[in-house]
Amino acid sequence: MGRRWLCKITDTTLCCLEKHDIDEQLIRKSFGTLWLMGHYGTRALTYWKPLLEETKILLGDEHSETLVCMDHLALTYHDLGRYNEAFYLQKPLWETSKRVMGEEHPDTLTRTSNLALTYRYLGRYNEALDLQKPLLEASKQVMGEEHPDTLACTSDLALTYRYLGRYNEALDLQKPLLEASKQVMGEEHPDTLTDTSNLAVTYRYLGRYNEALDLQKPLLEVSKQVMGEEHPDTLTHTSNLAMTYSYLGRYNEALDLQKHLLEVSKQVMGEEHPDTLTDTSNLAVTYSYLGRYNEALDLQKPLLEVSKQVMGDEHPDTLTRTSNLAMTYSYLGRYNEALDLQKPLLEVSKQVMGDEHPHTLTRTSNLAMTYRYLGRYNEALDLQKPLLEVSKQVMGEEHPHTLTYTSNLAMTYSYLGRYNEALDLQKPLLEVSKQVMGDEHPHTLTCTSYLALTYRYLGRYNEALELQKPLLEASKQVLGEEHPYTLTHTNNLAMTYRDLGRYNAALDLKKPLFEVSKQVMGEEHPGNVISM
């Protein structure tokens, strides 16, 4: 409603102003700014492109008004997700501003901040960091510690730390920043809402999902009231809440938000806007979590091609989408296709993100899993043992990712017949998972399943059974009766019944399982061979 109102009032006001003897260029600048503030990048562009050219001719390339026009045109490109075009304006603008205005002039500081932001959106995080750290110090000296511009610089630096996987450094900035923002700007100011959102996402990356949720649910309601339901910031807050639901294993709640969000994002931002691509990626991942792998694949294959064109082959978002597509291939039993993506991806990730970046650790884990699915257990082990040690140091011993890597290593030990080593990891892991994630979180269900399998491999069938029966009921309730994981739990329980000589009980589970598995997974999925 707010965006439609802005269109109507802007068009009406422009017509009225043009009938009076008012500076025509000033009118166009005013409306170019208004469109930009309303996130109507396409309309803003029709003002700022010609304005820049006219101002250069009238006043010269280095006049302050020309620099302001360059600022606005670059910000318009940024709003449209056209980051390279923004960059080509901002880099020379920054150099000119330092020379003409001085390095500590407030306008130069703003342009430094904008250039750093573009570096970050281009995935060039270290270049962003190199600008933002001294910028924050300069802003504190020139503007003061609680000036809104200084708060914005603090927020931007914290986000860059987060993108670099330096979550605790981000957190150390974001917690006091939010308090300062509330005092200086007010609790419902858009910048305060953004700072709340950023802190919540950092909590999520740290595996502190409930703390994230406690911030995100009320934030979304306030954002709808203050900014409007279709404002890009509200869409971002919706996306972040949905992702937290996913990490909490509340996939259907995530899906309900993401499907609607993607349609709105296409209309408001455009089909190829980076935010729309992110929303598409997130929806596909949720489909994967729900076991709807073909629906995930239908989104991920074209998404990856668009991402390469729009963002570039080595942009961190493109790398994430490559990883997600590879995982979907793996879930579909297309392991060699997964491997063809994962091996080069890991090398690029090390170069672009660094060896110990959380995303690189995840990609190492995914490659190891694919090796395991292919029966290449020693290659999996060679990756998983050092990975677990690094994850403990980088992420912490109880971070959900560390728990996942522990679980995966234990299963590889099981497949290698090293059952006692597996058991030594799995028993304490299940207790920690219950405490950290909750008894019915999908990760806890997986840990339960793996421990039961190890008991079975050790011939401790009754202990396996005691875990598997309640596990199957929980899986049906949490994931659904036809989710691939539920089918796996059904198969495993049937195998334990068989091992105990309870053949009729095993048969009662196995007969319908094979037909359902064919429908859900496809006739050629390797899992169906196991189910036969």
pLDDT at 72: 92
12 pLDDT higher than 80: no
Instruction: Give the mean model confidence (pLDDT) for residues 9-27.
Output: 56
Give residue 478's pLDDT: 87
pLDDT value of residue 26: 81
Query: What is the DSSP secondary structure assignment for residue 62, as one 8-state letter?
Result: T
pLDDT at 388: 97
| pLDDT tens digits for range 150-197 | 999 999 999 999 988 889 999 999 999 999 999 999 999 999 999 999
Rounded mean pLDDT, 192-211: 94
How far is the C-alpha of 268 from the C-alpha of 39, rounded, in Å? 9
pLDDT band at 521; cut points 50, 70, 90? low
Query: Which one of 115-124, 140-149, 162-171, 425-434 scores highest in mean pLDDT?
Result: 425-434
CB atoms within 10 A of CB 278: 20
Q: What is the percent of the chain with per-residue pLDDT over 70, rounded to a whole number?
A: 92
CA atoms within 13 A on the CB side of 227: 26
Q: In this predicted structure, what is the pLDDT of residue 22?
A: 52
Local confidence band at 8 (pLDDT 50, 70, 90 cut-offs): very low
- Tell which residue, 366, 80, 400, 25, has the closest CA to residue 212: 400
Q: Is the pLDDT of residue 522 over 70?
A: no
Given a cut of 70, whether residue 4 has pLDDT beyond it is no
Q: What is the mean pLDDT of residues 382-396?
A: 94
Q: Which of 330-339, 364-373, 508-517 has the lowest mean pLDDT?
A: 508-517
- Does the pLDDT at position 121 exceed 90? no
- Of 193, 192, 246, nearest to 216 by C-alpha is 193
Contacts of 231 (CB under 8 A, 6+ apart): 2, 3, 39, 223
Average pLDDT of the segment spanning 263-278: 92
Q: Is the pLDDT of residue 261 over 90?
A: yes
pLDDT beyond 80 at 407: yes
Q: How confident is the model at residue 281 (pLDDT cuts 50, 70, 90)?
A: very high
Give the per-residue pLDDT at 527. Answer: 54
| Contact predicate 419/457, CB 8 Å | yes
- The pLDDT value recorded for residue 532 is 28
Please provide the DSSP assignment of 99-152 as one string.
Answer: HHT-TTSHHHHHHHHHHHHHHHHTT-HHHHHHHHHHHHHHHHHHH-TTSHHHHH
Residue 530 has pLDDT above 50, yes or no: no
Q: What does pLDDT average to over the chain?
A: 89
Are the CB atoms for 341 and 367 separated by under 8 Å?
no
Helical pair 190-205 and 167-185, crossing angle rounded to 10 deg = 160
Return the pLDDT at 524.
Answer: 57
Q: For 310-360, what is each residue's pLDDT tens digit?
A: 889 988 899 999 999 999 999 999 999 999 999 999 999 999 888 998 899
Q: What is the pLDDT of residue 511?
A: 84
User: What average pLDDT does this structure show over 68-78?
Assistant: 90
Segment 212-220 shows an average pLDDT of 97
* 430 has a pLDDT exceeding 60: yes
Is the per-residue pLDDT at 465 higher than 50? yes
Q: In terms of Cα–Cα distance, which of 410, 433, 412, 340 is closest to 369?
A: 412
**Residue 523 — very low, low, confident or very high, per pLDDT cuts 50/70/90?**
low
* Tokens (6 digits) for 343: 């091996």
Q: What string of H, E and C letters represents the secondary structure of 506-531?
A: HHHHHHHHHHHHHHHHCCCCHHHHHH
130: left (phi over 0), alpha (psi -120 to 50) or beta: alpha
Q: For the segment 143-160, what is each residue's pLDDT rounded down to a tens digit?
A: 899 999 999 999 999 999
Neighbours of 397 (CB within 10 A): 12
